Amino acid sequence: MAFATSRLLVRTRAHSAIMKNRNDSIIRASTVLLKSQQFSTNNDPIRDKTVHMTSSRGVNVLHDPLLSKGTAFSIDERERLAIRGLVPPRCQEMDKQILRVKHNLDICETPLSKFIFLAALQDRNETLFYKLLIEHLEELAGIIYTPTVGLASQRSHSIYRRPRGMYFSSQDRGNMSAMVYNWPQDEVDVIVVTDGSRVLGLGDLGANGMQIPIGKLSLYVAAGGIRPRAVLPVVLDVGTNNEALLNDPLYLGMGHPRLEGDDYYAFVEEWITAIMTRWPSNVSNIITIHVLIQFEDFKYPHAYNLLNKYRDRITCFNDDIQSTSAITLAGILASLKARGLAQEDLSNERIICVGAGSAGVGVCEGIIDCMVDQGKVKTREEAYRRIYMLDQNGLLGNSAVSAGDKSRVMQGPERPKGSLDERQLCYVKSDLPDRMNLEDLIEEVKPTVLLGLTGIGGVFSEKAIRTMAQHNEKPVIFPLSNPDTHAECTAEQAFKWTDGKAIFASGSPFKDVKLPNGKIGRTNQCNNSYSFPGIGLGVVTSKASRVSPEMFLEAAKAIADIATPSQLKEGILFPGVSQLRHVSNKVATRVCEVAYQQGLTTKKLKEGEVLADLVRDSMYDPEYVPLVNHHHMA
């Protein structure tokens, strides 16, 4: 017994000595590593390009998608992070990992199965996910976002795998200021939040709307260069009026009708206050937040009411109203050049907008802003006369505000179906009959631009498009509703009905169309993915305290200037989706310029620092960086 005890004591001492030497080696290696890196402890995105400190060890590292490298951990990392033996012995770099995941992705037969595969990859290794996404952005953007994200949202409760983001529900009222501290990241740059009330063109999807913030933030990272650890998707689950979801036993959201009125706005106010509590910022002695909040897929009129309430209190914008406006304006400005006209001729356009909801009104407001900015119209009222707006009843015409048609006038805080509010009333045409249909209106006003923001597929009839083509050498046709099944017309229809003359752009991607004469009808994706990542990057980089209308106007101009003359001649208005990071860089630089010009930032530029370089250097690039454990530095 004494001999056995002696042997055990010797082995224990030997093991302790080995572990001490091992830990000493790790400490020395970590110290050397830190000294060899330009390591910063500040809130600086460049930090993620050097070395990352973590308190995690062992399987916790492997299970954290922000830390995990899968098979790419070096031998030294495996030692210092206590994961040696927990992954296959061969260290395989990222290029080999990309080959493996791309092969497995290609085996997936449907867009939804590809979506699920990519979501699983994101949940286990975000660096690899974003590397794959950036290298194949043209192919995969339509999988992680429109159009596939629409189907994924509809089925979100049945394909649920793992939690991502935060849910604030009606049962959490009174607890949100405590709940926000459950989020593990102390640094958050961008929040995308939805209440799921108007998801794409699919309507009320309740808590299933979470797929939209997740998809948007994936594009913020891949296209806009925002750090993955600094984004937060949020759903405000105030219930749903979708009977199919309420009756589905697998639905994961609150099973009651939506909060409305004062209860709804009090709920949102509590959430905003909670965010200000967790991520406060003092700008010019005003307590605000240093997080950018993007409101996403809120129904009308909540979308406008929330934007108007918070735009001067916090750093926020509404994607459906303002980003959609910026990219649509960019498309129209580029189309002017494609038609041999100057961008300054915008106020000469005759524009029909079919759709009078938050997106439709927002798009038109952006066009009005640009007309006024160009100076060829003296007042906004004069600019309003260039745009004709239709809702579900037809044209907003002369009897819309008459005593005989009270049903179309705003009635109290909640807009009855079929009524108008003060934003829509600006577009009423007193010289044309109310509720005129689209075909008759096109014949009457001979528009140069036709916009669709209805969320209803097939609204643009053959007669409407053919009539427009009779009056225009190059009719501009933008069916912008998402997903593609809800587009107002298809690319093939637009080119067929205009005999190949159309300048075409849609919200979701359509393939180019081969014309009877052998030429190719070029399609464009007029999607927010060209605008919001760069706008967000510019706001985050400049640390702007507010998001101003001028930022969206400058973003539109920046995007409109990218297409080359040869591309415009072919009808190409935007660069390919693979160029989104390049687009975001240009947009962000313009946004930063506006922030400094308008005094919206206190961030000081270093002597000789160029904004374009500052933006480029701040963009996240998905590469593995060395991981060092805090405990080994103690």
Write down how long the chain is.
634
Write down the residue that tokens 């080696």 correspond to. Answer: 25
Distance (Å, whole) CA 468 – CA 444: 10
Q: Where are the beta strands (DSSP E) in 290-432?
A: 292-295, 316-318, 351-354, 387-391, 394-395
Kindly report the average pLDDT of the chain as a whole number.
89
Rounded to the nearest 5°, which phi and psi values hold at 476? Answer: -95, 115
Centre a 10 Å sphere on the Cβ of residue 443 and count the other Cβ atoms it contains: 15
Partners of 503 in beta bridges: 476
pTM of the model: 0.88
Of 145, 220, 300, 384, the active-site residue reads 145
Return the minimum-mean-pLDDT range out of 197-211, 280-294, 431-445: 280-294
In this prediction, residue 41 carries a pLDDT of: 40
Tokens describing residue 532: 């919001």
Of 114, 216, 337, 586, the active-site residue reads 216
- Could you give the maximum distance between any two Cα atoms of the chain, in Å? 108
Q: What is the pLDDT of residues 307-355, one digit of tens each?
A: 999 999 999 999 999 999 999 999 999 999 999 999 999 999 999 999 9
Judge residue 164's burial from the number of C-beta atoms within 10 Å of its C-beta, 0-12 exposed, 13-18 middle, 19 or more buried. middle
Tokens describing residue 293: 């909040």
Is 337 one of the annotated active-site residues of the chain? no
Residue 300: pLDDT band with limits 50, 70, 90: confident
Could you give the C-alpha distances from 282 to 55, 98, 232, 573, in angstroms and in order?
Answer: 30, 43, 21, 41
Centre a 10 Å sphere on the Cβ of residue 263 and count the other Cβ atoms it contains: 12
Q: Say if residue 185's pLDDT is above 90.
A: yes
Q: What is the pLDDT of residues 348-361, one digit of tens each?
A: 999 999 999 889 99
Distance (Å, whole) CA 159 – CA 149: 12
Residue 280: pLDDT band with limits 50, 70, 90: confident
Q: Say if residue 399's pLDDT is above 80.
A: no
Tokens describing residue 288: 């605000």
Known binding residues for a divalent metal cation are 296-297, 320
Q: Which of 192, 131, 197 is nearest to 165 (CA)?
A: 192
Is 216 one of the annotated active-site residues of the chain? yes
Q: Say if residue 44's pLDDT is above 70.
A: no
Alpha helices in 316-461 (DSSP H): 324-338, 358-374, 380-384, 422-425, 438-445
Tokens describing residue 191: 């929040």
Distance (Å, whole) CA 102 – CA 119: 14
In this structure, the dihedral spanned by the alpha carbons of residues 479, 484, 489 and 494, taken in order and rounded to 10 degrees, is 80
Q: What is the pLDDT of residues 565-601, one digit of tens each?
A: 999 999 999 999 999 999 999 999 999 999 999 999 9
In this structure, the dihedral spanned by the alpha carbons of residues 104, 106, 111 and 114, taken in order and rounded to 10 degrees, is 20
Known binding residues are 198, 296-297, 320, 482, 527
Known binding residues for (S)-malate are 198, 482, 527
In this prediction, residue 206 carries a pLDDT of: 98
In this prediction, residue 409 carries a pLDDT of: 46
Distance (Å, whole) CA 598 – CA 592: 10
Which stretch of DSSP H or E encloses residue 264? helix 261-278
Q: SS3 breakdown of the chain: % helix, strand, coil, rounded to 5?
A: 50, 10, 40
Task: Read off the pLDDT of each residue in 192-217 and give the average, rounded to a whole number.
Answer: 96
Q: Is 184 helix (H, G, I), strand (E, B) or coil?
A: coil
In this prediction, residue 549 carries a pLDDT of: 96
Write down the residue that tokens 């103690």 correspond to. Answer: 634
Q: Is 133 helix (H, G, I), strand (E, B) or coil?
A: helix
Q: Say if residue 263's pLDDT is above 50.
A: yes
Judge residue 287's burial from the number of C-beta atoms within 10 Å of its C-beta, 0-12 exposed, 13-18 middle, 19 or more buried. exposed
Distance (Å, whole) CA 539 – CA 189: 10
